[in-house]
Structure 1
């Protein structure tokens, strides 16, 4: 899991990931929502990668909105309208 789409469609649920892990499916997460879910579920076997995952795991960031980006509607190709807080933190 790398990314998700907030608000318009449901995010991947913890229970979905736990079910996959419980039947032996490896689940990896990085970058955005994947990093968040990996930090929440690594104790159950999910494998996290990357700086954002490490920040969540260390408690340097805790909120879901750290990785959120507002997008334009489909008619405009879902172009990003904002920058995520983690991108700003990484740049600073």
Structure 2
């Protein structure tokens, strides 16, 4: 029988950004309707303004209640997953 030992030495905490930060989302400018890419990390920053690359309008990133709940639920699940990983092999 082979016994495996798991080291619990995470250098970085797990987060939505660590999983999806580099993923790109399509954003549609409400002014000119130009569709452009925005990183998931940038989209998580509620209240941030991003410029439309076409018309140069500032677009404020606002999260509705469903988005806020989805983000909170996902962050909770990631924390529980990280906790389970730390317990693995004990």
| CA radius of gyration, larger in | 2
Q: More relative contact order in 1 or in 2 (CA 8 Å, sep 6+)?
A: 2
Normalised by the size of structure 1, how large is the TM-score?
A: 0.25
Higher helix share: 1
* TM-score in terms of structure 2 length: 0.25
